[in-house]
Amino acid sequence: MTTSMRDTTFPKGATILVNAWAMSRDPVNYPRPDEFLPERFLTSEYGTNGETPSFAFGFGRRVCVGRYVADASLWAAIVNMLAIFRFEPAPGCDLGPEGENVVWTEGVTTHPKFPCKITPRHELTHERLLQLVQMST
C-alpha cells in the first residue's frame, strides 16, 4: 500500500517538531554551515540579500502570525545595540580562536553562555545613552 502525505493522519493532539537545527545547517543553502559568516546574508558592504530563514517561524496553517513584527523588532533592536555598544568577551574569558571553548545552553533553543563586557562605542553622557537606548526600543 502506498501512502501519500495527504493520506497520512496524525493522532489528535499530535505534536510535530520541525528540525530547524538541520534546516539551518543545510550545506546546499548555507555553505560551511558551522562557520559564523554573517556576510553570507550580504550582497554588498551595506546591503542584505533579503533572506530571512523563515523556517524559524513555523509552516502552513500554524505559521507564526507575529513573524513580521518579530523580524522587524529584532532587526531594530540588534542594529541599534551594535551601533551604540561594543560587545566582547569579559577580560580573562578565553573563547578560543574559533570559539571552540564556548559553552552552549541546552534545550529546544540554545545560546552561547559566557561573561560579556558591554561598553558604549562613543563618549556619551548617561542621559544621551539612555535617550539612544529608548529610541531603539
Give residues in contact with ligand HEM (CB under 6 A).
56-58, 62, 64-66, 69-70
Amino acid at 123: E
CB of 7 to ligand HEM, least distance (A): 22
Nearer to ligand HEM, 26 or 88 (CB): 26
Report which of 74, 38, 42 is spatially closest to residue 56, judged by C-alpha positions: 74
- Please indicate if the annotation marks 116 as binding a ligand: no
Nearer to ligand HEM, 31 or 112 (CB): 112
Nearer to ligand HEM, 107 or 115 (CB): 107
Please count the CA atoms within 13 angstroms of the CA of 101 that sit on its side-chain side.
9
In this structure, the number of other CB atoms found within 10 A of the CB of residue 124 comes to 13
